[in-house]
Structure 1
Amino acid sequence: MIIHGARPSPFVRKVIVFAAEKGIAVEVQAAGFGRGAEGYLKGSPFGKIPALEDGDFLLCDSTAIVTYMDALKPGEEMIPAAPRERARTIWYEEFGDTIVQAAGQKIFFNRAVARRLKRKPDLAAADLAEAEEMPKIHDYLESVLASGPEGGGWLVGDRFTLADLAVACPLINVAYVSAGLSADRWPCTVDWLARVRARPSVSAALAEEWPMVEPMLSK
C-alpha cells in the first residue's frame, strides 16, 4: 500500500499515523504540486494530497483513505462504532480538517513553507491568526478536555481515536513555528497534545518528517 504526499502535511501525517495505529504497512512516496508517481497523478485528479494506491485501487482525500483503512482491518476501530462516539469523532475530524487547519495553515505556511517555495510570506496574517484565531481553538479544546476523565482525557471516549489524531495534526504544524499554546492557560490541551505526540505511531512519523521540516525553520 502506497501513500502519496508530503510527510509534513497534516493530512498526510494523519493517514500515515492512522495506518500505523491499525497495523497497516505503507510506503510513503513524495508527491504534491502536480508532481508525483503515476499512482498519485491518476488517484488524485485535482492534485490534492494524500492519495492512496492499494494495488489497482486508487483514492484521494485523507478522510476517505482513513475510512477505507478502518474498514479494511477490523478490530478496535479508530472511528468508533457507537452512534454518539462515531458522530463526535466525525465532528472532531471536520473541526481539525477545516477550522484548526485553516488557522494553522496561515501560521505554518507564512512562517515556514512560503520561504521554501520562494514566495513572499504574509507574516501579518500569521501573527493575526496566532493572536485571534488560535486562542479560540485552544479555549474550545480546553473546555472539552477539562470535562473528560480525571480532568483531561481523550476527545472521544477513553481512548485515542481519529478525533485526537485529526485535531492534533494541524496543531503539531503550528507548534513548529509558534509557542502560543501555553500550559498556564491551557494545561489540559498541552498535556493532551504531549500524549498524542508521545504515541509510537506519532513520534515515528514526526521523526521521519523532521529532515523535511528542519530546513523550513532555518533562518
Structure 2
Amino acid sequence: MIVYGSSMSPFVRKVLVFAAEKNLAIDLKTLGLQADDPEFREASPFGLMPGFRDGDFTISDSSAIVAYLDAIQPEPALIPAAPRSRARAIWWDEIADTVFTTCMRKMFFNRVVSPIFLKREGNLAEADHAETHELPPLIDFLEARIPDSGFLVDDRLTLADIAMAQPFVNFGHVGAPIDADKHPKVAAYIAAMHARPSIAPWIALERAALEKRGGITK
C-alpha cells in the first residue's frame, strides 16, 4: 500500500498514524503541493493530499482512506461499531479536519509553507490573528471535552484521537505551544498522543527537515 503526499500535511500524517496503529505496512511516496506525478494523479484526480493505492484500488481523502484501512484490518477497531460511538468518532474526525485544521493552515502556510517551501513572504498578520483570536477558543473547547481517560471516545484510542492530534503537530511547528497552566488537559492529551510510537518518529523527521531548511518564520 502506498500513500502519496508529505507527512507535514495533517491529512497525510493521519493516514500514516492510523495505519501504524493498525499494524499495517504502508509506504509514503513523498510529493509536494499539486505534484504532477501520474500515479498520484490517478489516485487523487484533484491533486489533493493524500492519495492512496492498494494494488489496483486508488482513493483520496484521508477520511475515506482510513475507513478503507479499518475495513480491511478490523482489529484494533479504531472506528467504533456502536452507532453513537461511531458517530462521535467521525464527528471528532470532521472537527479536527475542518475547524482545527482551518485555523492551523493559516498559521502553517504563512509561517512555514510560504517562506520555506515557496520562497515567498507569507501573510504574517493572518497567521498572528489566527493564533491570537481563533486558536484560544478552540483549545478552550477541547479542554472542556477531554474525558479523564485521556481519550475522546469510549475511553480508548480511536480515529477521534488520531485525527485531533494532527493539527497540533503543525501548531507546534509554527511555535504555538499549549499553555499547560491554562489548558492542562489539552497539554497532557496532546503530549501523550504525540509520544505514541505511531506518530513520534514523524514529528521528529518533520522538525529535522524544517530545521535543515532554516527553521520556522514567525
**Mapped pair 1:129 → 2:130:** yes
Q: Distance in 1 between matches of 2:216 and 2:185?
A: 30
- Residue 27 of structure 2 aligns with which residue? 27
Residue 138 (structure 1) aligns with = 139
Instruction: State the shift of 1:167 in Å.
Output: 1.2
**4+ residue segments displaced more than 4 Å:** none
Point out where structure 2 has 5 or more consecutive residues left out of the alignment: none
Taking structure 2 as the reference length, what is the TM-score of the superposition? 0.93
Per the alignment, residue 177 of structure 1 pairs with: 174
Match of 1:217 in 2: 215
Q: Which amino acid is 2:25 matched to?
A: A
Aligned residue in 2 for 1:108: 108
In structure 1, stretches of 5+ residues that fail to align are none
Conserved? CA contact 1:70–1:77, under 8 Å: yes
Distance 2:28 2:40 in 1: 11
Cα deviation digits, residues 119-138 of structure 1 (max 9, x gap): 22111111111011101110
Query: What are the residue-to-residue correspondences of 1:62-77 with 2, within 5 Å?
Result: 62-77=62-77
The Cα shift of 1:182 comes to 0.2
Over the aligned positions, Cα root-mean-square deviation in angstroms equals: 1.5
CA contact (8 A) 1:103 1:129 kept: yes
Output one character per residue of 1:31-56: Cα deviation in whole Å (capped at 9) or x when no partner.
24332543211111000000001111
Residue identity over aligned pairs, in percent, reads: 45
**What letter is aligned with 1:64?**
A
Q: Indicate yes or no: 2:158 matched with 1:161.
A: yes
Provide TM-score, normalisation by structure 1.
0.93
Q: What does the per-residue CA deviation read over 1:92-125, in whole Å, with 9 as the maximum and x for residues that have no partner?
A: 1110000000001111111111102122211111
Whether the 8 Å CA contact 1:111–1:126 is kept in 2: the answer is yes
Distance in structure 2 (CA, Å) of the matches to 1:142 and 1:191: 10
Which sits farther off after the overlay, 29-38 or 190-199? 29-38
Q: Indicate if the aligned counterparts of 1:115 and 1:216 stay in contact, CA closer than 8 A.
A: no
Cα distance change on mapping 1:218 and 1:33 into 2, 3 Å: closer
Amino acid corresponding to residue 132 of structure 2 in structure 1: A
Cα offset for 1:216? 5.6
Shift of the alpha carbon at 1:161? 1.1
Q: What count of residue pairs does the alignment treat as equivalent?
A: 215
C-alpha separation in 2, matches of 1:166 and 1:103: 15
The more displaced of 170-179 and 125-134 is: 170-179
Which amino acid in structure 2 is aligned with residue 77 of structure 1?
A
